[in-house]
Amino acid sequence: MKLNHIYQGHALDVLRTFPDECVDTIITSCPYWGLRDYGDETRVKWSDAWYGQLGLEPTLELYLRHLLQITQELKRVLKKTGVLFWNHGDSYGGSGGSGGDYNAGGLREGQTKVGKSGAGIQPKCLALQNYRLILRMIDDQGWILRNDIKWVKPNHMPSSVKDRFANGYEPVFMLVKNKKYWFDLDAVREPHKLASLERLQRGISDHHKYSAGAPGQTLHSGINRPRLNKRKWSRVPGQDKQNIEKHSGYFRDNKCLVDFEKGKNPGDVWEIATQPFSAAHFATFPEKLVAPMIKCACPEWICKKCGKARVRITKKTKRDEPYTYQKVGIPGESNQRGKRERCGQYQAETIGWTDCKCSAGWKQGICLDPFMGSGTVAKVTRLIHRRYVAIEISKKYIKIKDRRLAQGIFDF
């Protein structure tokens, strides 16, 4: 398998030439069923004798079967410690067209979409193509679904429909092969919001920074924050430690359950605007969507000998100036004014990375995109100092990547 290389061809054929367990991360967006025509050069012959474009199958079932052949190969090439991010939107019954021929005289373009067992997807009904696929990946192929990330698009396409809401998000499914996998959440944590810090501190006593209240101690109904403002907090009758623990959600047996000092877990709702891209390719990923996936799921250092990826080591340190307000502008956000983040009392610092002691040197992790399109995953992978391998069937789209290179936008 060649690295930092784009293979031109049918994803299934190319994947079959790759060795087992050779990539650390897969980030991709497949052609959706019944939505777009990526051009005649993307038509391929499938093992069931259907000849046509992935996504333009006459039935949803046929489309799912084709994709499942590909996801089976993806599972084979993904390392045991690997992670797959699969972005997959949906389409409605009765919209768009289908294409391709099922042998001579077979089903042709423009025919009504049909679901499993030949029953029609009701006009106007969401096909749920993505969730149907993911269910089969879990049930038939043994994938473990860890997250159903909602990629919310604040600048989503305006819609002419008058009898439903416009579609403003797409799911990105995070799947793994094993219960244990490499994942660096600390690489993508965010600063806490003021409200979260307040919630955390509900139950903080003067004696114990994470205590939900020592026996006999006066408990407060809210945050114990005389240092923050002058407001007095009164005791709520009947409130006890368990009650506070239950409501704060952060404590059990006086222990803080979250690594609060490390920053906020970004959660599974990601608001990221689609990125305008002038070249003729639809459906390009925004770089901001891809970057956190690479950072948290594709290791930067893997031992050249034993193949173990290094794991971050952090240390908790006390801040010099706890309990202060800071004005923090969020770059790129319009509402910079008035954005306030409060520093917590503790912070976490990365003090190093685990070492397998092989002393054989390190290599960067490998990220695969089997439906590369204009090459966003490949580009961001290089920018973040990992290696990529990409597959794209359309020569036209591979040329877009070359044009970006000529304009100096790409660094590979």
**In degrees to the nearest 10, what's the CA dihedral of 35, 41, 46, 49?**
100
Residue 10 near ligand SAM by CB under 6 A: yes
User: 210 or 397: whose CB is closer to ligand SAM?
Assistant: 397
Binder to ligand SAM among 67, 283, 348, 389 (CB under 6 A)?
283
Residue 404 near ligand SAM by CB under 6 A: no
Residue 285 near ligand SAM by CB under 6 A: yes
User: 176 or 400: whose CB is closer to ligand SAM?
Assistant: 400
Interface segment toward ligand SAM; rule CB under 6 A; list 36-44, 75-83, 107-115, 300-308: 36-44
Residue 389 near ligand SAM by CB under 6 A: no
Residue 373 near ligand SAM by CB under 6 A: yes
Residue 381 near ligand SAM by CB under 6 A: no
Residue 42 near ligand SAM by CB under 6 A: yes
Binder to ligand SAM among 151, 182, 270, 397 (CB under 6 A)?
397
Residue 374 near ligand SAM by CB under 6 A: yes
Residue nearest to ligand SAM (CB): 373
Interface segment toward ligand SAM; rule CB under 6 A; list 195-203, 238-246, 324-332, 392-400: 392-400
Residue 371 near ligand SAM by CB under 6 A: yes
Site residues (CB under 6 A) for ligand SAM, limited to 54-93: 54
User: 10 or 192: whose CB is closer to ligand SAM?
Assistant: 10
Interface segment toward ligand SAM; rule CB under 6 A; list 129-137, 146-154, 202-210, 385-393: 385-393
Residue 394 near ligand SAM by CB under 6 A: yes
Report which residue type is found at 182.
Answer: W
Residue 98 near ligand SAM by CB under 6 A: no
Binder to ligand SAM among 81, 91, 129, 376 (CB under 6 A)?
376
Interface segment toward ligand SAM; rule CB under 6 A; list 209-217, 231-239, 300-308, 373-381: 373-381
Q: Which residues make up the interface to ligand SAM (CB under 6 A)?
A: 10-11, 29, 31, 38, 42, 44, 54, 281, 283-285, 371, 373-374, 376, 391-394, 397
